[in-house]
Structure 1
Amino acid sequence: MTFWSKFALVGLAALLPQMAAAETRITYKAAKTGSSYYQMAVQIAEAVKAGTDGEVIVTVEESQGSVQNVMEAAVRPGNYFFTSPPALISLAQNGKAMFKDKGNPKFDEIRALFPIPSLTMHFVMRADSGVTDFSGLAGKTMLIGKGSFGAREGAKYLDLFGLTDKVKLADAELSNAGPALKNGQIDGFVTSGSYPAPNVIEAAAGTGITLLSLSDEQIAKTKRTKLVIPAGTYAGQDAPVTTTSLPVIAYTTTAMDDDTAYQITRTFWEEKAKMADTAPWWKGVTTEMLANISGKIHPGAARYYAEAGIALTDAQK
């Protein structure tokens, strides 16, 4: 080997650590494998890699839920971000509910990055059931499922609207909603998920459905966030549907440096349209949803919003 060959090899060896250091690796704690929110996390990871030309690599980790995500925020190193409803962050920071006796000063260091699709309540009825509002549910058979956010919300709404003893609840899993609706075993079902929800798309195409809207008074009783599903989201849906939602936000902590938070946030918004081409639920995410963030936004993310001319509240800064 010549002197110059050895010199080139030595130079390359010296550069390799620098090349490796230039690549930023981030852990993203999402949801259970197979869930829509896990799929979203994978899409975000792919978008970040594409949008940064591989400079930022996001590794998606399975999670058992948002509570676990928030708890780990107190012990994870800097390059960690995760999903959670804003209300859960507030509970953690105040040591309430599931975070009682589990308080940690690190919870106060949680900062928001950007919104992702909200959990959206869908009250789905067979089109030929004749039901067009909640009062029409009396005497009908509904499937709300078990154990999920949608099931808990569905039961809560029936109670709030005085329908608990007037509606028959089908004893079946929500995964059977489509066939049960088509076969006439149920009159409708309740589901939550980012819209357009796959099971609602299937029901609309195969059976024909009516989605129930909530009045402003009903929404106030639920104490949830108002959301409008645009007309044409589902087959046969000719008008907007007003419903409720549980906002979901991507969070990190102050341990993440400003440049990394800026890069993730900028790339997310710049790549969102491409993501929506293959996954329509991204179409429902807008900068107006930043209003759902009650806590502080990471300074790096705030820098992007300032550059983009997107106003933040004083409480978010």
Structure 2
Amino acid sequence: MTDLYKPRFKTKAFALALMTGTALASAPALAETMRFVTSNTGGTFYPIGVAISQVLSENGISVSAEPGGGNSNPISVSQGDAELGFTFAPSFGMAMAGQEPFPAPLQNIRALGYTHLNYTQIAVTLESEITSIPELAGQPFASQGLSAGSSTFFRIALDAYGMTEDDMDIVVRGGPAQGANMVRDRNAVGFHATSGMPSGTFTEAFQSVPMRLLPIEDDAYATISAEYPTFAQAVIPAGTYPGLSEDVQTISTGAVILVRDDMDEELAYEIVRIIAENTARLAPMHGALTDLTPELMASVAGIPLHPGAERYYTEAGLR
């Protein structure tokens, strides 16, 4: 697995910024309400986590969605600071292998299943006249905080074009909502996120300022997929956001709910069962959940499932 997820960029400060201690805490006793760490409130992990938490709580498993980050959540769950977390499939593999940005291998995390696809979205203003990623060089741009998986994937996209964030003028590191505000105030030409689609933050930004999405083209995708096989080539359709008049090529990857490997098997089984049996309830709660099915949940590949999840999918004939 290490070779599959070996990053092309080297950022020791990035790994250290995530480090909250590498010793794994012993498993906590199950709290009355389980913590589900998601994303900053401007990302799609947070509202989707709220929706899933609501459905689980309605069915007898009390869960509370809280802010988090795609890179920090595996650490939080591994150390017992949260019972559930969201991350991306590539981030899960990096975490288990201890590849940067993760400071040490997290061998005690397991997946419950995919919930939706996430798309790397890089938006710039039309007035900037930027039409490609290389043209971001030297431009004021809003990036994300180090705890966010989006920050890793943005670096991966830049690297495919022979660039780093040092080639740009990064004016802020925060959530996509903060980035969108910087664009609206004309302090940045653009911002990015890897998130579900459509993203409310991007919708609001496109409504406020004429914008476009920058493509991640075939050659760049070939470079990325050679080292990160859990990425897929994807298209953001025209009309996804106000004024987006053409399809835009990008990369996508699955969103994973993760837990510790020592979560009670019956509890893990029930969490997966409740989500799988309530996809129709979840679909209207967020646009990114429209395609949620038990088949999508079970399609996890390249990362280990929790035994409770594996048992549910096997009994349901999905694996």
Question: Into which bin does the TM-score normalised by the smaller protein fall?
Answer: 0.5 to 0.7
Larger radius of gyration: 1
Q: Shift of the alpha carbon at 1:103?
A: 6.0
One-letter amino acid of the structure 1 residue matched with residue 79 of structure 2? E
Q: Shift of the alpha carbon at 1:307?
A: 4.9
Q: Deviations over 1:249-308 (max 9, x none)?
A: 112345344443232112213333433323223236554465454223234323433454
Report the counterpart of residue 269 of structure 2 in structure 1. Answer: 262
Q: Shift of the alpha carbon at 1:89?
A: 4.4
Q: Deviations over 1:141-194 (max 9, x none)?
A: 341325344445435533541456996525245555445545655443333333
Residue 120 (str. 1) matches residue 123 (str. 2): no
In 2, the alpha carbon distance for the partners of 1:145 and 1:62 equals: 18
One-letter amino acid of the structure 2 residue matched with residue 145 of structure 1? S
Q: Is the 8 A contact 1:32 1:38 kept in 2?
A: yes
- Counterpart mapping for 1:263-302 below 5 A: 263-283=270-290, 285=292, 287-288=295-296, 290-302=298-310
Q: Deviations over 1:214-266 (max 9, x none)?
A: 12321232345124334432123344433234543112345344443232112
Q: TM-score, normalised by structure 1?
A: 0.68
Residue 169 (str. 1) matches residue 169 (str. 2): yes
One-letter amino acid of the structure 2 residue matched with residue 57 of structure 1? S
Report the counterpart of residue 313 of structure 2 in structure 1. Answer: 305
- Counterpart mapping for 1:144-223 below 5 A: 144-145=142-143, 147-148=145-146, 149=148, 150-162=150-162, 168-169=168-169, 171-172=171-172, 175=177, 177-182=179-184, 186-222=188-224, 223=227
Report the counterpart of residue 48 of structure 2 in structure 1. Answer: 40
Report the counterpart of residue 141 of structure 1 in structure 2. Answer: 139
Structure 1 or 2: more helix by fraction = 1
Report the counterpart of residue 251 of structure 2 in structure 1. Answer: 244
One-letter amino acid of the structure 2 residue matched with residue 84 of structure 1? T
Q: Shift of the alpha carbon at 1:201?
A: 0.8
Q: TM-score, normalised by structure 2?
A: 0.67
Question: 1:138–1:86: structure 2 CA closer, same or farther, 3 Å change rule?
Answer: closer
Q: How many corresponding residue pairs? A: 277
Aligned alpha-carbon RMSD (Å): 3.9
Q: Is the 8 A contact 1:112 1:293 kept in 2?
A: no
Question: 1:250–1:131: structure 2 CA closer, same or farther, 3 Å change rule?
Answer: same
Question: 1:25–1:265: structure 2 CA closer, same or farther, 3 Å change rule?
Answer: farther
Report the counterpart of residue 236 of structure 2 in structure 1. Answer: 229
Report the counterpart of residue 3 of structure 2 in structure 1. Answer: none
Residue 28 (str. 1) matches residue 26 (str. 2): no
In 2, the alpha carbon distance for the partners of 1:208 and 1:143 equals: 16
Residue 111 (str. 1) matches residue 110 (str. 2): yes
Could you tell me the percent identity over the aligned residues? 22
Q: Is the 8 A contact 2:114 2:296 kept in 1?
A: no
Question: 1:256–1:140: structure 2 CA closer, same or farther, 3 Å change rule?
Answer: closer
Residue 83 (str. 1) matches residue 99 (str. 2): no
In 1, the alpha carbon distance for the partners of 2:181 and 2:305 equals: 44
In 1, the alpha carbon distance for the partners of 2:247 and 2:163 equals: 24
Report the counterpart of residue 63 of structure 2 in structure 1. Answer: 58
Q: Which runs of 5+ in 1 are unaligned?
A: 1-23, 313-317
Q: Which moved more, 1:189-198 or 1:169-178?
A: 169-178
In 2, the alpha carbon distance for the partners of 1:89 and 1:183 equals: 35
Question: 1:86–1:151: structure 2 CA closer, same or farther, 3 Å change rule?
Answer: closer
Q: Shift of the alpha carbon at 1:30?
A: 0.8
One-letter amino acid of the structure 1 residue matched with residue 112 of structure 2? L
